[in-house]
Amino acid sequence: MDQLATKSDADRRETTTKTVLATSLDTDEATIESHVDGLEDCELAKTYRDGSVRITITGEELLALDTDNIVIVDSM
């Protein structure tokens, strides 16, 4: 999520791609996709129809908490 926050912005709706994230994290796109899906389930990332992705306001606020041990996001 740190990488996603670095390469996108919630306020300005700036997005990045899973390819860019995979390259910067030296992994494959399937792994990135799995992580992004998990973040999206927690409302921490948003994926657009064209495949671009960005961090959400919630995600940025979560990072601002500066806690190492995030556990559960309950969006009831």
Comparison of 30 and 70: residue with beta carbon closer to another protein = 70
Query: Taking the complex as a whole, how short is the minimal distance between the CB of residue 1 and another protein, in angstroms?
Result: 7
Residue closest to 70 by CA, chosen among 48, 47, 46, 38:
38
Spatial contact of 24 and 3, defined as CB atoms under 8 Å apart: yes
Q: Does 51 bind another protein (CB under 8 A)?
A: no
Spatial contact of 15 and 54, defined as CB atoms under 8 Å apart: yes
Q: Does 14 bind another protein (CB under 8 A)?
A: no
Q: Does 12 bind another protein (CB under 8 A)?
A: no
Site for another protein in 30-49 (CB under 8 A): 35, 38-39, 41-44, 46
- How far apart CA 19 and CA 16 sit, in angstroms, is 8
